[in-house]
């Protein structure tokens, strides 16, 4: 059997894996990045919306190559049609980009390669390898059908929602049913939607989630839905709700579908612990994703960067034990844990509200002077009139 030896093996070349590989390689570590698919960033499993601020934090320079659109604003709607629109007229508005994920993910992988990481495509990790003392010493993989072994001092599990590497390593990444949103998205053309506004529709149209319309230019948009399976009507799946929404909205009368994709997001506040001896979990694999928005690109990039930095430090003492990796836990928790927890609580409450209350809430938000659409600002407004919605986590708002 072919055996490869390296310092760090990273499983999954999504944003989390590529960032981890880049920082490991840049720190002088011999780094191998495995990707099971035939193309990085494709097939798409994303609505491609991001805010802008975090890019600088993780050292990513905005590049027109992967920016499809610079948004002017956002619209939040209730099923009854009440809408809150945030646009440039509100001074200081912070809106976001719509990306070309397939190009964004490749750009990050290219950065990793330029830093010295070795990318192995169509190489699927199938298990972890343990040494005589039970410690993880690498991963088993299949490279275009051939079984190989990659031996490393530490493994970075960046395998996304599937999060199997962590489980093979004994870290429980299983989600509660109520912490899972099933998604489906159509890339549609012939649409009559605003070209530079991201739209979100919440309420009964998408139980426990929302419908999104993120424009890609020229009458094309990502039109998708996330639903909490446990709240769906019997026999109804995500596709049922999305098709119903599209059928009832006249803007889609002439719409045609160019691409269909599925994908899931976790809506929990992150794993209890995302490290163990010789292994670190990052991004979706660590369940670090915003429980309300399902936005996870920034979280994957941050956790990937933290993992890379910590592994470089560990290498200096050649200690990759759980204890030595704990600074990673501290870094991601200090940066994101409060917000993840707050949004997880808010998600649980929002899922219980009926359309009348949602309608009223969106009316209230419209009447407020919010300058940036984010969960924090919206919850602040909600807290004023519906304190019960935020009861138990008011301190985090």
Residue 169: name the closest of 157, 178, 160, 179 by CA.
157
Q: Annotate each residue in 38-77 with x if it binds ligand FAD (CB under 6 A) or - if it does not, as one string.
A: -------xxxxxx---------------------------
Of the residues 36, 106, 153, 342, which one makes contact with another protein according to CB under 8 A: 36
Q: Which does 60 bind (CB under 5 to 8 A by kind): ligand FAD, another protein, none?
A: none
Concatenated DSSP letters of 198-228 = EEEEESTTSTTSEEEEEEEETTEEEEEEEEE
Which region among 69-77, 154-162, 249-257, 292-300 touches another protein (by CB under 8 A)? 154-162
Residue 97, CA distances (Å) to 14, 50, 107, 197, 268 in order: 18, 5, 16, 10, 25
Q: Which does 84 bind (CB under 5 to 8 A by kind): ligand FAD, another protein, none?
A: none
Of the residues 223, 295, 320, 378, which one makes contact with ligand FAD according to CB under 6 A: 295
Residue 353: name the closest of 384, 387, 311, 389 by CA.
389
By CB under 8 A, residue 264 contacts another protein: yes
Q: Which does 300 bind (CB under 5 to 8 A by kind): another protein, ligand FAD, none?
A: ligand FAD
The span from the CA of 123 to the CA of 147, in Å, is 9
- In whole angstroms, the minimum distance from the beta carbon of 345 to ligand FAD comes to 20
The span from the CA of 101 to the CA of 261, in Å, is 13
The span from the CA of 333 to the CA of 326, in Å, is 11
Burial class (CB in 10 A: 0-12, 13-18, 19+), 263: buried
Which region among 146-154, 164-172, 300-308, 348-356 touches another protein (by CB under 8 A)? 164-172
Instruction: Please report the sign of the dihedral spanned by the C-alpha atoms of residue 53, residue 58, residue 62, residue 66.
Output: negative
- In whole angstroms, the minimum distance from the beta carbon of 105 to ligand FAD comes to 7
Bond prior to 150 in cis (omega within 30° of 0): no
By CB under 8 A, residue 123 contacts another protein: no
By CB under 8 A, residue 347 contacts another protein: no
Size of the site for another protein (CB under 8 A): 33
Q: Which is nearer to ligand FAD, 113 or 389 (CB)?
A: 113
By CB under 8 A, residue 222 contacts another protein: no
Sort strands 31-34 and 118-120 into parallel, antiparallel or unpaired.
parallel
> Which spans of this chain sit near another protein (rule: CB under 8 A)?
36-38, 43, 45, 124, 126, 142, 160-164, 167-168, 173-175, 177, 180, 182-184, 229, 237-239, 260-264, 266
């Amino acid at each position: 059997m072919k055996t490869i030896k390296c310092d760090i093996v990273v499983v999954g070349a999504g944003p989390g894996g590529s960032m981890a590989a880049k920082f490991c390689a840049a720190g002088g570590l011999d780094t191998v990045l495995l990707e099971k698919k035939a193309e990085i960033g494709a097939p798409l499993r994303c609505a491609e919306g991001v805010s802008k601020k975090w890019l600088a934090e993780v050292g990513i320079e905005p590049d027109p190559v992967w920016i499809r659109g610079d948004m002017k604003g956002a619209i939040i709607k209730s099923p009854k049609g009440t809408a809150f629109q945030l646009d440039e007229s509100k001074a200081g508005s912070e809106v976001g980009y719509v990306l070309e994920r397939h190009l964004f993910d490749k750009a990050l992988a290219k950065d990793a390669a330029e830093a010295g990481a070795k990318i192995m495509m169509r190489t699927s990790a199938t298990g972890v390898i343990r040494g005589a003392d039970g410690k993880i010493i690498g991963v088993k993989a299949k490279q275009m059908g051939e079984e190989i072994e990659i031996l490393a001092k530490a493994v970075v599990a960046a395998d996304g929602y599937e999060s199997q590497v962590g489980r093979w390593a004994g870290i429980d990444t299983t989600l509660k049913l109520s912490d899972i949103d099933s998604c489906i998205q159509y890339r549609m053309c012939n649409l009559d939607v605003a070209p530079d506004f991201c739209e979100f529709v919440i309420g009964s149209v998408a139980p426990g989630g929302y419908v999104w319309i993120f424009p890609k230019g020229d009458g094309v948009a990502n039109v998708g839905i996330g639903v909490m399976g446990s709240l769906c009507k019997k026999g109804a799946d995500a596709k049922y709700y999305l098709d119903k929404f599209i059928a009832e909205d006249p803007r889609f009368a002439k719409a045609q579908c160019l691409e269909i994709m599925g994908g899931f997001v976790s809506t929990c506040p992150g794993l209890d612990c995302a490290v163990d001896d010789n292994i670190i979990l990052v991004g979706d694999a660590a369940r670090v994703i915003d429980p309300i928005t399902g936005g996870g690109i920034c979280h994957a990039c941050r956790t990937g960067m933290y993992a890379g930095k910590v592994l470089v430090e560990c290498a200096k003492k050649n200690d990759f034990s759980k204890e030595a990796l704990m600074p990673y836990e501290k870094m991601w928790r200090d940066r994101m844990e409060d917000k993840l927890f707050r949004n997880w609580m808010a998600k649980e409450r929002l899922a219980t509200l009926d359309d009348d209350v949602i309608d009223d809430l969106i009316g209230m938000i419209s009447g407020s002077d919010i300058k940036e659409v984010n969960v924090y600002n919206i919850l602040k407004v909600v807290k004023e009139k519906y304190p019960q919605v935020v009861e138990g986590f008011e301190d985090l708002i």
